[in-house]
Structures are given as structure tokens and as C-alpha cells.
Structure 1
Amino acid sequence: MKARLIEPNNGPNIQKEKAIVKEMIEFYCRRKHHQDQLCNECQELKTYALLRLSFCRFGEDKTACSNCKVHCYKPKYREKMKAVMRYSGPWMMLYHPVYSVKHLLNK
């Protein structure tokens, strides 16, 4: 039996999702951890989140992760990402309104 290689999703919708996630994590770290650069914990979360997006089984048809029936994040990262989203989400409307509206429409 041959091993099947899985190609990463790099389409425009995934790239937008990645940009939003990066912004939210970076904003969270700047505000909560008072860092100019990402701390190790936030860098680890960002790397993990981008990897999960790259290999999302729904690809370009994915919805917002909060609406997904498949929980692909490990519980540790899911809790961290929830904290990031709770904190950064409302601020995104002020600092990145276009990203925010697109994300809300994706729900």
C-alpha cells in the first residue's frame, strides 16, 4: 500500500484565514504579554495554528473554526486559541475592520 502525500492548502481563503490568525495572535501577545516580538508560547501557538490551517480537511470550503464539527486542535492549543480569540476579536473591529467583517461573514 502506498503512502498518500497530503498537499497543504494554500488557496486564497486559507491565506486570508492565516493572515487573520497571525494578526490576532500577534495583537494578543503585544497586549497581554507586553512583548514587541512574539513570546515562545505565542510563537508556538501561531506555528501550530498555521499548520492546522494548511492541512484543514475542508480546504477552501472551510468555515470559521468555531463552527466546525471537526476539532483538529489539541485541547491545550484549543484553549489558548479561545483565549486569543476572546481577547483579540473585539479589538479586530477597530484595528482590522476588513478582516473582522470577512471573518463574521465566514461564520
Structure 2
Amino acid sequence: MRNCVEEEKDTVELMIRMYCRHREGNKELCADCAQLLDYARERLDRCRFSGNKPSCRKCLVHCYRKDMRARVRAVMRWAGPRMLLYHPVIAVKHLVRDLRK
């Protein structure tokens, strides 16, 4: 079974790519979205909870800078519901994992 941090990285990447493509109209990641993806991956790599990681929304430690947290929230708010249409298996897995922790 894959590490939950790796799965979360994949989910965040899908959401950022969807946001950039459908909301901003870019075929490839724009510089802002690429920067956000790199930042999110870095934060997940440095997560102190690693294997027993709660979802970032439920985490007691907010490791994102305020500006990046606002950007990630905007992406998640837009892409979250659409994940059920474009990537239903990943979305349901994420929801189940979120409910368990």
C-alpha cells in the first residue's frame, strides 16, 4: 500500500492541474500553479506526521504560509467537487481517508 503522503501529493497535483486547465484555461501548468504545486509537495515532504498524517484540513499544525494556504484553499474549493466527476475513485478514497482520521 502506498504512503498516505504520496497519495495526498498525487491528489493535490490532480486538483491543481484541473484548476489551472479548467478554471484558468491553460493547457500546461502556469508559473503560479507550478509554484503552488512545488510548495505543496515540499510541505507534504516535510510533514511531521508522515505515515500517520491527517488531512491538512484537520491538522493541528498549519505549516502553509498564509498566502499559500489561501491559494490552496481556493483550488480545493473549486476542484474538490469536480474530482467526483473527473476522478471519482481518487475522490472517494480521499473522503474515506479523511473520515477515518
Range into which the TM-score falls when normalised by the shorter chain? over 0.9
Aligned to 1:83: 74
2:35 to 29, 35, 44: 44
Q: How does 1:1-107 map to 2 (within 5 A)?
A: 12-107=3-98
Give the Cα–Cα distance (whole angstroms) in 2 for the partners of residues 72 and 102 of structure 1: 24
Q: Percent identity?
A: 44
Cα distance in structure 1, aligned partners of 2:53 and 2:4: 8
Unpaired runs of 5+ residues, structure 1, are: 1-10
Cα deviation digits, residues 72-102 of structure 1 (max 9, x gap): 0000000000000000000001111111111
Distance 1:78 1:37 in 2: 22
**In 2, Cα distance between equivalents of 1:69 and 1:102:** 22
Distance 1:17 1:62 in 2: 10
Please tell me the root mean square deviation across aligned C-alpha atoms, in Å: 0.9
How high is the TM-score relative to the length of structure 2? 0.92
Cα distance in 2, alignment partners of residues 47 and 69 from structure 1: 22
CA distance in 1, matches of 2:97, 2:68: 22
Report the CA distance between 1:103 and its aligned residue. 1.1
Which has a greater percent of helix? 2
Structure 2 segments unaligned to the other structure (5+ residues): none
How many pairs align?
97
